[in-house]
Structure 1
Amino acid sequence: MSMQDNDFSRIIAYVKSEKPDDPVHFFHPRHLDHAVKTFQTGFGGMLTYAVKANPDPLVIARMVELGMQGFDVASPAEMALVRSVSDTVALHYNNPVRSLSEIVAAERHGVRSWSVDREDELAKLAHLPKGHEIAVRLRLPVKGAAYDFGAKYGADPETAVLLLQKVRDLGLIPSMTFHPGTQCDASGVWAQYIRACADIAARAGVTLRRLNVGGGFAANRLGISPDLYRIFREIDQAVDQGFGANRPELICEPGRALATEAFSLLVRVKAMDERCMTLNDGIYGGLAEWRDLSVGNRITCFAPDGTLRRADGMERIVFGPTCDSLDCLPTPLVVPCDLSPEDYILISGMGAYSQATATGFNGYGHSHVVCLQDHDTFDRGAGHRHAAA
C-alpha cells in the first residue's frame, strides 16, 4: 500500500486510537470497485464471483451494488448468504458433487445452472425441468498455476463427450466449464482448455450454450500486478478460433482476482529475538494460505505511534500465536531490523481466503473487520464509528 494512500492514513489513525492487539482486516471498497470494473470492461462475457474467496457480507453487498451478474456458490450456506443480499442475482452451483438434500436446497434458492463431471452426479439432476443448464467440467494435464484443481474435479475428454450427449438427451441446456488452477498467469492455459472444449463439443455433436472459463485469474501477491487484459484477449481469440460460428456465450468466475486487493491485514509483533518473531496471527488464521503459496512481501511496518520502520531488512522466522509448532510460515519474512515487539505489520492484498479459512484454533485467528470509506471508518467488530483521519 502506498504511503500516499488515504486508506493508509486512516489505518494509522485507527491504530493510534484503538491500539488493537488482535488482528484487523481493513476493507478497501474502492479497490474492490476497481477489480470488478476491470473484469466488467475487459472480459467479453458474464462476470460472476466465486463466493468461497471471501464470503464477507460487505463484499457480497458491494458487488451487488456494482452490478455483479451472478455468484458461483459451492454450498447451501453460500446460497443463503447471497440471497440475504439479493433475491434476483443468478446462482451458479459449480461444485460438481452434491448430496440430494443440497440439490433440494439449491432448487429452493433458485439455482438454474449446475456442473457435473461424472455420470452418477448427472443422474441426480435428471429430474430438473427444461431450462436448467448443466455444464460439463473438464480437466486437462496442463501446467501454469500455483496449484492444480484437476486433481479433485473434472472429467477427462472422453467422459466429457458422453456427459454432453447425456445432458442433451435429458433435454437440459449443455454447456462446459473448467478451472485452470489458482494463481494462473499463463494465458496459454485458457487457450488449451478452450480448444479442447471446442473439440469435445464437436465430437459430441452438441452446440454449447455457454462456456465457463473458470476462475484462477492471478492476483498481486509479490508486488507484480498480472496483465489480466492480456488473458482476456487470448480467451476471446481462442473462443473465436475454436468455435467459429458456434461461439458460446462466455462466463468467468474469479474469486481471488476480485477479492485480493479489497482487504489488508494488520498483525502485531508479540515477541522477537535475533532470528525469530511471533505474531498475533498465523497459519491457523489470516496467514493460512502462506503455508501453501509463497510468503508475501507487500508489508509496511510501523510503531504504535505510526512511525514507519525503515531500517535495512533482515530475514526472521515467523511463528503464529498458537501452541502448535506447525504454526510457522514455510519461509522467513524480510522485515526492518528495527522492528520491535508491540509494533504492527500491515500486509496488503489479503482479501482472498484470509478470512474464509481462519479457524479460531487455540482461541486465535479471530479478527475485526474495519470498513474504510471516504468519509468515515466503521469498525464492524467493535461496533462503533471512528472519524476519518
Structure 2
Amino acid sequence: MQHLSAPWPDPAACLARMRPDAPVLFLSPATLQATARRFQCGFPGLVTYAVKANDRAEVLANLDSAGIAAFDVASPAEMRAVRAINPAAVLHYNNPVRSPDEVAAGTQMGVASWSIDEDSELDKLRDVPRGAEIAVRFALPVRGAAYDFGEKFGAAPERAADLLRRVAEGGWRPALCFHPGTQCEDPGAWESYIEAAARIAARAGVRIARLNVGGGFAAHRTGPAPDLEAVFARIGVAVTRAFGPDAPALICEPGRAMVSEAFTLAARIKAQRDGGETIFLNDGIYGGLTDLRDMGLTGRVRVLAPDGAPRRGPPRPRRIFGPTCDSLDRLPDGLALPADAAPGDYVLFAGMGAYSVAMSTGFNGYGLRDVITVLGLTGHCPHES
C-alpha cells in the first residue's frame, strides 16, 4: 500500500524540519486556484494561462482544476505539457514566429487560435483549417510596462489592417491581439491598444470575432498589491467605448500575475563577507532568481534562522552573489536583509512562481529543481509569538 505524506503547513515548518541545503520553491495550490478564480470572476471575457511563466505539471493541473480550460502556448513542448494534463484543453498558439514543423505540430494537436504579425507567417498557415481563429498581433509605442514586447513582435497598425483583411479573405476567423508588456501597471496602456484595435478593424473593414488583450497584468512585487479588478474594469469600459454595441469577445493570457503569488522561493545563505555586506546564496541569476536581474529587486523578502525563527534585526542593504563560479551571478545591489542574518539562514522571496523554475539552469551543478507543496505560504514559525 502506498503512503503519501501530507503537505507541510507552510515553508517555515518545512525548513525547520528538513533543513534543505538546495534552493526550494514552495507551492500553495489554494493560492494558485484562488488567483485563477479572481481572474475568471473579474475579467470580462475568456481567461487563458500563458504556460511560459511556469509549465510545471502541478501548476497546469491546479489551473485545470480551477476551471482554466484554454492555454496560451508558445511551442509544441508546451502543447504536450498541457495535453498531458487535459487532452481536451483549448490551445492558443500566440508565438507569431514558427517553423513549418511547428505549424504542422500545432495543426496535428488541434490548435484553435493562432497569431501572426507578418505576411510570411500567414503564408505558413495556409494548411490550417478554415474556421480556425487567426489573430493579427499589432504593437504600439506605449509605455507603462517593465519592458516592452513590441520590439520583437507586432505589426504596425497600418500593416495590421492589411493582414487582418487577408485573414478574413482567406476564410479564417479574424481576430486581433496585442501585449502591453510585462508587469504593466498602467491601465492606460490597455486603453490605448483597445482604441487602436477598433481603428485597425475599421480600416480593414473587418468585424473581428475576438480581441486578445494579452498578458502583462502586474504581480505583487513591492508596496501595495496591484488592483487587478481596476484594470479589468478599465478594459471593459474601453472596449465598449471603442467598439460600441458591436464589441468583440475578449480574451486575456496572464502568466506572471496568475502564478507568481502561489510560490515562495527559499534560498540559503552560504557565506558572508565584508562584515556582512556581501552575502553568497545557494541560488542566483542562473537559477530561480534570474527574473530579478531584469525586473529589479523585490521588497517581499524575509529571513528565517535554521530552526524557523524569524530574523528581526534592522534591514541593511547587501550585495548578493549566487553560488556559481561566474562573477556575473549577482543580484541587483541593495537587497535589504535583517542585520542579524547569518550563514545557514533561509532567505524567503515571496511571489516567485513566474519565470523562476521555468528559467532555472543547471550551470555549475546548481539550479532550482525542488517544488514542495504547502497548505499556505505564511504562518507562524516555530518560535514566533
Distance 1:188 1:96 in 2: 25
Distance 1:331 1:48 in 2: 36
Distance 1:244 1:184 in 2: 26
Partner of 2:29: 29
Q: Write the mapping of 1:34-183 to structure 2, written as runs, cut at 5 A.
A: 34-183=34-183
- 2:295 partner amino acid: L
Partner of 1:379: none
After TM superposition, give the deviation of residue 367 of structure 1 in Å: 2.8
After TM superposition, give the deviation of residue 12 of structure 1 in Å: 2.2
* Other structure's SS at 1:208 match: coil
- Over residues 100-130 of structure 1, what are the superposed CA-to-partner deviations in whole Å (9 max), with x where a residue is unaligned? 0001111111102100000000001122222
Q: Write the mapping of 1:1-389 to structure 2, written as runs, cut at 5 A.
A: 10-273=10-273, 274=275, 275-373=277-375
Structure 2 CA distance for partners of 1:76 and 1:84, relative to 1, 3 Å: same
* Other structure's SS at 2:175 match: strand
- 1:195 partner amino acid: E
After TM superposition, give the deviation of residue 40 of structure 1 in Å: 0.6
Distance 1:344 1:149 in 2: 35
* Other structure's SS at 1:84 match: helix
Checking the alignment, whether the CA contact within 8 Å between 2:32 and 2:258 is kept in structure 1 is yes
After TM superposition, give the deviation of residue 224 of structure 1 in Å: 2.0
Distance 2:288 2:60 in 1: 19
* Other structure's SS at 2:10 match: helix
Moved more, 327-336 or 250-259: 327-336
Moved more, 292-301 or 95-104: 292-301
Distance 1:146 1:258 in 2: 17
After TM superposition, give the deviation of residue 8 of structure 1 in Å: 8.9
Identity of aligned residues (%): 52
Distance 2:298 2:193 in 1: 29
Moved more, 251-260 or 299-308: 299-308
- Over residues 200-219 of structure 1, what are the superposed CA-to-partner deviations in whole Å (9 max), with x where a residue is unaligned? 10010000000000000001
What residue ranges of structure 1 are gaps of 5+ in the alignment? 1-6, 375-389
Distance 1:219 1:329 in 2: 19
Checking the alignment, whether the CA contact within 8 Å between 2:8 and 2:375 is kept in structure 1 is no
Partner of 1:381: none
Report the TM-score when normalising by structure 1: 0.93
* Other structure's SS at 2:85 match: coil
Partner of 1:378: none
Distance 1:131 1:65 in 2: 29
RMSD (Å) for aligned C-alpha atoms: 1.2
* Other structure's SS at 2:144 match: coil
Distance 1:84 1:332 in 2: 42
* Other structure's SS at 2:295 match: coil
* Other structure's SS at 2:211 match: strand
Checking the alignment, whether the CA contact within 8 Å between 1:112 and 1:131 is kept in structure 2 is no
After TM superposition, give the deviation of residue 259 of structure 1 in Å: 0.4
- 2:264 partner amino acid: S
Distance 2:347 2:127 in 1: 53
Checking the alignment, whether the CA contact within 8 Å between 1:210 and 1:249 is kept in structure 2 is yes
- 2:93 partner amino acid: Y
- 1:285 partner amino acid: G
Give the number of the structure with larger relative contact order, counting CA–CA contacts within 8 Å between residues 6 or more apart.
2
Distance 1:242 1:297 in 2: 38
- 2:278 partner amino acid: C
Checking the alignment, whether the CA contact within 8 Å between 1:168 and 1:174 is kept in structure 2 is yes
- Over residues 154-180 of structure 1, what are the superposed CA-to-partner deviations in whole Å (9 max), with x where a residue is unaligned? 000111010001001101110000000
- 1:347 partner amino acid: F
Checking the alignment, whether the CA contact within 8 Å between 2:60 and 2:85 is kept in structure 1 is yes
Distance 1:49 1:326 in 2: 32
Distance 2:15 2:201 in 1: 56
- Over residues 320-357 of structure 1, what are the superposed CA-to-partner deviations in whole Å (9 max), with x where a residue is unaligned? 00000000112221111111101111111000101111
Checking the alignment, whether the CA contact within 8 Å between 1:300 and 1:346 is kept in structure 2 is yes
Partner of 1:380: none
Count of matched residue pairs: 368
Distance 1:318 1:8 in 2: 29
After TM superposition, give the deviation of residue 9 of structure 1 in Å: 5.4
Structure 1 runs (4+) deviating above 4 angstroms are: none
- 1:54 partner amino acid: N
After TM superposition, give the deviation of residue 69 of structure 1 in Å: 2.6
- Over residues 186-236 of structure 1, what are the superposed CA-to-partner deviations in whole Å (9 max), with x where a residue is unaligned? 001000000000001001000000000000000101142101111111111
- 1:245 partner amino acid: P
